[in-house]
């Protein structure tokens, strides 16, 4: 006979189509009965940690999460423990200059071998563009080309890449469009590998916080970095971009977005994947840029991130025998939960992906949207 806590969890799942220990690929298979107490007491943090500990499994983890979020399951369970990140984010600036390099050390410096096997050939750690693509490499090349076309990038122009990663955009823009690119990142491993990958290109990579920038560029791009800025710093971020952008230039912001304004992120993501991160809302972005930029275009294609994340997980699975000795089983389960839970979140339309084109004074005659 099921215990009271098991019955409580089963009742919470009733509207999701998910069954405890059922036969569907998205059903939750519980191996340790302590799971029920843990998830009720600790919410999403306990849910993710108990998966890492092997207390439960699910064949289609991405679909499980998608069903949870579509049913708005997160609104049915609450824990005082979940209030701490919320209160902490209101009291402190978790993305201050002194904390800027934390995300580099804890996430992007995990190991270039991991990211080289997971990502496409250019090592692009942002959403691909799958409109006509059939492979991850094609989707990422299409995304990088889309960015260049939206900027109307010309040979010889100087571009700033805020959050340059391993140099994928810089290398592409230099090779395909003849641009000169300066990329900044807070990851020392990214800088080291980017310099190795593009030794003879007109690109420069710097280990630097964006707040230190004060020089002019024809255009600015920022692909997948704004999620680390934090709401307390949004205005500063746009002020830096404005002071570095020529009056006739364009600024393309590529970011994951949320459907409502928040001041913190999911506790499990905060602890294990992206410390001091949060997803901006459309309202927060527009408020922070007001008076600094004119919005020329807003392109939403978050469902493409579902495909991108699944492709990344496929690559990790395929290359796991090469990585297993270094990273171990618990990391494998953590990384699987991260990638597939995020895929489910985009599938449920809980998260969005936006490309926003901004100009300082408005494009004369108007901006033509490019897709």
Task: Give catalytic residue positions.
Answer: 342
Residue of 344, 336, 334, 337 whose CA lies nearest to 306:
344
CA gap 350, 239 in Å, rounded: 29
Q: What is the DSSP letter of 226?
A: G
Q: Give the tokens for residue 257.
A: 């977005």
CB 78 within 8 A of CB 159: no
Distances from the Cα of 339 to the Cα of 67, 70, 216, 264, angstroms: 16, 18, 37, 20
Strand-pair partners of 352: 257
Least Cα distance to 3 among 27, 32, 28, 26 occurs for 32
Report how far residue 261's alpha carbon sits from residue 253's, in angstroms, rounded to the nearest whole number.
18
Neighbours of 280 (CB within 10 A): 23
Cβ atoms of 279 and 351 within 8 Å: the answer is yes
């Amino acid at each position: 006979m099921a215990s009271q806590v098991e019955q409580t969890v089963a009742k919470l799942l009733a509207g999701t189509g998910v069954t405890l220990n059922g036969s569907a690929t998205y059903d939750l298979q519980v191996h340790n009965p302590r799971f029920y107490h843990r998830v009720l007491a600790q919410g999403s943090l306990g849910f993710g940690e108990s998966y890492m500990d092997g207390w439960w499994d699910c064949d289609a983890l991405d679909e499980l999460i998608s069903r949870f979020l579509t049913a708005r399951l997160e609104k049915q369970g609450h824990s005082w423990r979940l209030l701490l990140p919320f209160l902490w984010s209101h009291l402190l600036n978790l993305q201050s200059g002194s904390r800027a390099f934390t995300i580099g050390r804890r996430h992007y410096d995990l190991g270039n071998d991991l990211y080289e096997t997971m990502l496409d050939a250019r090592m692009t750690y942002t959403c691909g563009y799958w409109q006509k693509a059939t492979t991850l490499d094609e989707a990422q090349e299409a995304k990088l080309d889309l960015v260049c076309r939206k900027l109307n990038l010309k040979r010889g122009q100087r571009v700033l890449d805020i959050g340059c990663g391993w140099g994928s955009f810089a290398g592409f823009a230099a090779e395909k469009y003849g641009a000169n690119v300066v990329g900044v990142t807070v990851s020392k491993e990214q800088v080291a590998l980017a310099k190795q990958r593009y030794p003879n290109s007109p690109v420069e990579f710097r280990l630097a916080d964006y707040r230190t920038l004060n020089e002019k560029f024809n255009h600015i791009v920022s692909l997948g970095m704004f999620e680390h800025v934090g709401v307390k710093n949004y205005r500063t971020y746009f002020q830096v971009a404005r002071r570095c952008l020529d009056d006739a230039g364009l600024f393309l912001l590529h970011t994951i977005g949320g459907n409502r304004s928040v001041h913190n992120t999911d506790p499990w993501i905060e602890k294990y994947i992206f410390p001091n991160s949060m997803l901006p809302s459309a309202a927060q972005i527009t408020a922070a840029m007001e008076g600094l930029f004119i919005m020329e275009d807003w392109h939403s294609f978050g469902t493409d991130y579902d495909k991108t994340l699944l492709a990344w997980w496929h690559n990790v699975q395929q290359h796991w025998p090469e990585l297993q000795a270094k990273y171990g089983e618990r990391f494998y389960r953590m990384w699987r939960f991260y990638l597939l839970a995020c895929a489910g979140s985009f599938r449920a339309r809980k998260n969005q992906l936006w490309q926003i084109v901004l100009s300082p004074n408005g494009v004369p005659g108007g901006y033509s949207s490019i897709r």
